[in-house]
Amino acid sequence: MAGNCAYPAWQGRGACRGFFANCFFPPSTNERRDEKRRREVRAKAICSNCQVEDECLDYALAI
């Protein structure tokens, strides 16, 4: 799977699509430790309720 630029169909069903995607990536400026922790808590909460969590984790570990 590594190096494959194809868009997996399951990605479109992810709970993180759209507005919520920003909490999965750090800001371009410095981020304080407490800000990072809050961002990560939000991201984990989104993932915990996602219908494609397993596929996403497999993909993340493969790339």
Confidence (pLDDT) at 4: 54
The mean pLDDT value for 23-48 works out to 93
Structure token pair of residue 56: 């996403």
Q: Which domain holds residue 35?
A: 9-62
Structural domain count of the chain: 1
Q: Is the pTM of this model over 0.95?
A: no
Would residue 3 count as lying in a domain?
no
In angstroms, the Cα distances linking 40 to 8, 14, 20, 25, 45 are 24, 17, 12, 9, 9
Question: Span 29-43, mean pLDDT?
Answer: 94
Give a yes or no: residue 15 inside a domain: yes
Q: Kindly state whether residue 28 falls inside one of the protein's structural domains.
A: yes
Mean pLDDT for the stretch of residues 24-36:
92
Specify whether the CB–CB gap between 23 and 46 falls below 8 A.
yes
CA separation for the pair 23, 47 (Å, rounded): 11
Distance, C-alpha 16 to centroid of its chain? 6
